[in-house]
Amino acid sequence: MSLAGEYDGANIFAKILRGEMPCVKIYEDEHVLAFMDIFPQSQGHCLVIPKDTTARNLIEFPANRLGLLFAAVQKLSKAVVKALNCDGVIVTQFNGAPAGQTVFHLHVHVIPRYANLPLQPHHGGKPADMAVLRDQAARIAAAL
């Protein structure tokens, strides 16, 4: 999918925001929702998505809302580091299919890094164990 196009309200993140699909929630306020990635590249991989938008990517998102989104990303990143005692953290965001975007609702990945563990492929297998994701989400939420 290219950078230009129509927002698809049937995408998985839109469904999660409408309560039509479940997620393992970490944090929510009036601007964002943070939840666990069910195909994690690392233990504790989570996502932050803005609410009330049809922006498919960063390029389409209103500049006046970027501060709120990235304040939440920073808050979540700090909590991930504190809760999971990781050695580093990747904060990344993709725009368009050629860049690696697979869900076309703006989202930011927060991926903990551990010195001796390689990153796993995204969507490289079956979904993670939900009990493990719930435990990680509870630990991260407690660190907020």
Question: Out of 105, 107, 109, 123, which one is annotated catalytic?
Answer: 107
Per-chain mean pLDDT for the chain? 95
- Asked whether the predicted pLDDT for residue 127 surpasses 70, the reply is yes
Question: Domains in the chain and their CATH numbers?
Answer: 12-143 (3.30.428.10)
Tell me how far apart the alpha carbons of residues 114 and 131 are, in angstroms, rounded to a whole number: 21
pLDDT 10s digits, 79-118: 999 999 999 999 999 999 999 999 999 999 999 999 999 9
Distances (CA, A) of 132 to 35, 88, 119, 122: 13, 20, 17, 17
Among this protein's residues, is 107 annotated catalytic? yes
Whole-structure pTM value: 0.95
